[in-house]
Amino acid sequence: METRPPVPPFTYGSATLKVRMAEDAWNSRDPETVSRVYAPDTVWRNRAEFVTGREAVVKFLQRKWQKELDYRLIKELWAVNENRIAVRFAYEWHDDSGNWFRSYGNENWEFNEQGLMVRRFACINDLPISHTERLFFWPLGRRPDNHPGLSECGC
């Protein structure tokens, strides 16, 4: 069976690393890369949509990133307990008409013994913003280590 370190039980440090690794995967905007973080039978609730299994995750993310263009995400550890991690996040994106948004949310994650996410529950709200209100300005892909995190950005 595949393993995705760090694995539970999580410490504050290993949970912080797990959150950054998830952020990096999502910022790749590659559905296949992102899907490998999840167990084959993963179960999600994302807003009002329910997703089960890696193949469904890939399809969900393909649809997501066809709509949410120039996506840039920052995640931050909120709490950790053994095999569960709570995260808050914000991401910026625009639609095909050039309208910008900052989406704020919280996620609850549960991991199996191999460090694969078996459950993900996400609540997300979209705030329309102007181009001048954007805060996330790095080249598409991984957020540079010297870019402010979520708290430092005031989000």
Tokens read off for 79 = 């709490």
Q: How far is 13 from 61, CA to CA, in rounded Å?
A: 28
pLDDT at 144: 98
Neighbours of 122 (CB within 10 A): 16
The structure's pTM equals 0.96
Torsion of CA 27, 153, 95, 43, to 10 degrees: 50
pLDDT at 136: 97
Give pLDDT tens digits for 16-45.
Answer: 999 999 999 999 999 999 999 999 999 999
Q: How far is 127 from 153, CA to CA, in rounded Å?
A: 16
Domains along the sequence of the chain with CATH:
12-153 (3.10.450.50)
pLDDT at 1: 75
Neighbours of 55 (CB within 10 A): 11
Residue with the two structure tokens 């998830």: 22
Give pLDDT tens digits for 81-131.
Answer: 999 999 999 999 999 999 999 999 999 999 999 999 999 999 999 999 999
